[in-house]
Structure formats: C-alpha cells, structure tokens
Amino acid sequence: MRLALGCALGAALMLSACGSSTAAPAESPATQVDAGAVASADACPEGPPAGGPLADVWVAFDGFVGTIVNDTGAGVWVSNDNGRPLEETPRTPCFLDAGKSAAFASSARALLSVSLTATDRSGTRIELWDRGDGDPTARVSAFRQNPPAKNCGSPWVSWRKSLIVNEPLDLEARAGTGYSGEARVTLVDDQDAARTFTGQDERFLEEWRRVDVAVIQVGTCS
C-alpha cells in the first residue's frame, strides 16, 4: 500500500513539474517585434549602391548621392521622397538604427524624410537642391503626412544655404511651435561617387554631387 501511494505521489509531482515548465513558453517572434524589434527586411540597404526607398534615379543632369548617418541616438525611419507631392501616398520608409549609415541616390534633388515611426509619419526633412548654375544648397524643415499632410516652415526654415566643398554645414531650424530638427551636411569632392552610389555608368551622372548627411535630431510638425 505504501509503495503504491508513493508511486502515485511521484507521478503527480512529475505531472506538476511538467505543467510548470510549459506554463511560461519562450517569447514568440511576434512578441519580440511588438517589444520594439525591427525585422531585418525593414532595414535600409547599406550600399553603395543605394537601394530601397533611398534610391530614386532617372535621367537628369543634376542629382545627389551620398550617405545618410543616424546620429540621433535612437532608431529612425527614412525615405527619399523626391518627386512625390506631399499629399500623395508616401513611400514606405526603411529603418536606420542608431549609429548606422545607408547610401542614397536622387535625381534633380534629394528630399530625405526622417521620422521616429514608420506610419503616420511626422519629423524632419533634409532637402538638397542643385540648379546647375552655382553651389548646391541645403535646408532643413519639418513635415507631417497624416492628417492632413503639411510642410512646417517659416521664412528662416525655407532659406536654402549654399554648400562649400569639404566644409560641414550645420542646419537647425524651428517651424512654428514644432521643432523641425537638426542635421549636418557636407559637400564631398568625389568624382566617382555618382556611378558608385547609383550602380550605373551613364553620361548624365557627370554633374551629380555627393553630399553626406548626418541626422542629429528629429523634430516635429505640429
């Protein structure tokens, strides 16, 4: 009798132990994503050449290539929205982790949109512009996509500042009650950059410029 009772109690303890081991399963991938992890497929292609939402290349005799570096201390979502009106469906951004960099390539001008979220985006926009009749220019402003889509600006924000080769330019601006952000842009003397960053070997790339962009702070558009 004592032997039978001991076996029964042992079996019960074993079942209890098994139950406790399955009560707290390992964290699922879905839970990990919900906790803030970003799928590798969402990461910006490092490049060069540029790829994903940071590449917008078509035949144009002016354009920009370069690297965008995330110096904000937190992960951001970026896209090159050149040629896309604000009210249109925005490009799906890619994720750029803190301290990481990625290549971009853009015909005519570059319009780099940086936000802390992948959807309902609001943040900082770095615009690079080159009319081909002087030094290229840059400016920082703010944007909001939904709802309604708008650019945030003031007379100070809308001024474009000229870039001089190998002289970093710090851009910082406020837009109304919302802070539009801060970036450092550098015009680099690199004759082969256009072909390297686009992955193409076309004559129209001869006048393209390389500008490296470091995002220091992401702002808002209220």
Q: What is the pLDDT of residue 134?
A: 74
As a whole number, the mean pLDDT across the chain is: 79
Closest CA to 103 of 161, 154, 157, 57: 57
The neighbouring-strand residues paired with 210 are 65, 188
Most confident of 35-44, 141-150, 200-209: 200-209
Q: How many C-alpha atoms does 65 have within 13 Å on its Cβ side?
A: 27
Closest CA to 91 of 54, 64, 129: 54
- Over residues 12-47, the pLDDT tens digits come to 433 344 343 334 443 333 333 333 456 677 999 998
Torsion of CA 200, 195, 44, 170, to 10 degrees: -150
Q: What are the two backbone dihedrals, phi and then psi, of residue 104, each rounded to the nearest 5 degrees?
A: -135, 155
Q: Count Cβ atoms below 10 Å from residue 85 Cβ, excluding itself.
A: 7
Q: What is the pLDDT of residue 141?
A: 85
Q: How many C-alpha atoms does 194 have within 13 Å on its Cβ side?
A: 22
What is the rounded distance in angstroms from the CA atom of residue 130 to the CA atom of residue 208? 9
Full-model pTM: 0.77
Query: What percentage of the chain exceeds 90 in pLDDT?
Result: 47
Closest CA to 221 of 80, 68, 117: 117
Give buried/exposed letters for 108-118 (b at 16+ CB in 10 A, else e).
bbbbbbbbeee
What is the rounded distance in angstroms from the CA atom of residue 101 to the CA atom of residue 143? 22
pLDDT at 124 over 50: yes
Task: Choose the weakest-confidence range: 110-124, 127-141, 182-196.
Answer: 127-141
